[in-house]
A and B are shown apart, each in its own frame.
Chain A
Amino acid sequence: MSEESNIDIYRRRFLSGTASAAAGLAVAPGVMLTEVANARPADQAVTSEVRWGMLIDTNKCDNGCNDCVSACNEEHNLGGFDRPGTDAQWIRTVTLKDKQTGNVQSLPLLCQHCEHPPCVDVCPTGASFKREDGIVLVDKHICIGCRYCMMACPYKARSFVHEKLQDQMPYSPRGKGTVESCTFCVHRVDEGITPACVEACTAEDHNAMTFGDMNDPDSEISQQLERYSSRQIRADLDLNTGVRYRGI
């Protein structure tokens, strides 16, 4: 194909939404979140009909497994500067040892995408906000870097960008002087694909993470949540988190 005609195809697709039927055959091999026909069109706003959530079965987390963390670091290019105190961590594995029984387990901790997020309540400019579909994000265009949200988050889920960055992922802008945290890979979710950590966990056959729409009774996450007992971390704060855990 000539360059010109390709551009035309591309243009037709993103402007008019019509494409050749053949194009439909080449579905990307990711984990699709919804039946493709039900996916939200790119030009429509997210709604509160959907609430994205994640269920983590800690029984399936091997101690020392870091697959979800590396997937996240790679997806968002959170390379870091070898300064653990100031390097960003959107998801981390936490090791728990029971003081009484000595039982040891490990689990991933990330932004819990609270329904009532304290970070959003305290943010002076409204840079921290919750999307209609429950994903909590920082609008870095208006974040002033006051770090009040970091003071307020009960999960230490947020990182401040302490130095100048380059070569960010185009779909994951991040920069010095603003605060950031796990986005639930919103750029992927908007395309109907699961977050990078979930994908990695599944690809490595751990299957500890389930991602989906908690408002849809038929989704896998809703069914699992209904069937098994699960917990929110710091449930006492009544934040109704979007991330739930089994086995803690």
Chain B
Amino acid sequence: MTNYSFITLILGLLLGAGAPVMAGDAAADENSGSFYIPEAQRRFSDAQGCVEPTDEMRINHMEYILDQRDVTVHEGIRTKQYSLVECINCHVSDAPDAPRYESEEHFCNSCHTYASVSIDCFQCHADRPLKSSGYQHRSSINNGHAHTSADAAEVTREQPQVMANEGTGNE
């Protein structure tokens, strides 16, 4: 373990949560094998992996999620870019045996364990995408809310939302 990551580890331990666990240069040696971060299932775009540059997300993802959480819960704003559900949809496999948060194989926990960060998000939130848990959404939006898979049929589920946006756009 490099000195740097040891210090961040201690910092993480001391601060318990929210410590900027890895600054840019530590992120650079992400493949050096100090710990394992699962690959995301999909890329956000050709140019970019995540919804913000990876370094930014590594340091500040909790800020984005926190802001989104408040506007979603209290104001019903359901944009998807920073929604936790979307994080899970991209970063956790929807295979039935996909790792749960408790496992270090889980995307979130792979890093949180390393940085000794403890979070309680997944006491309430699903730690896997909808499909993997074996339950099937019976409602008319028959493949669940906001589950974005790369599979073409599923993308149509975004329709009502898209049309809503379009509607105002035209006014």
Contact = CB atoms under 8 A, between A and B. Distances in A.
| Interface bin, chain B | 35 or more
Contacts of B164: 36, 39-42, 192
Given A6-B152, A24-B163, A31 B129 contact: no
A45 B76 contact: yes
A175 B43 contact: no
B167 A9 contact: no
A37 B167 contact: yes
| Interface bin, chain A | 35 or more
A139 B73 CA distance: 7
Nearest to A31: B140
Contacts of A187: 78, 145
A30 interface: yes
Contact of B44 (A11, A23, A43): A11
Contact of A46 (B76, B142, B163, B165): B76
Contacts of A168: 124-126
A167 B76 contact: no
A204 to B, nearest CB: 13
A28 B167 contact: no
Nearest to A133: B76
B148 interface: yes
Nearest to B128: A167
A176 B44 CA distance: 33
B157 interface: yes
B79 A42 contact: yes
Interface string A146-188: 0000000000000000001111111101111110000000111
A100 interface: no
B5 interface: no
Contacts of B85: 170-171
B159 interface: yes
Interface stretch (B12-20, B106-114, B130-138): B130-138
Interface of B: 42-46, 69, 71, 73-81, 85, 88-89, 100, 123-126, 128-130, 133-135, 137-142, 144-148, 150-152, 155-170
Given A13-B161, A19-B166, 11 more contacts: A1-B152, A14-B161, A24-B166, A27-B160, A39-B163, A42-B161, A74-B138, A167-B128, A168-B125, A169-B130, A175-B124
Interface of A: 1, 3-4, 6-11, 13-15, 17-19, 23-24, 26-32, 36-46, 71, 74-75, 77, 129, 131-133, 137, 139-141, 164-171, 173-178, 186-188, 190-193, 196, 199
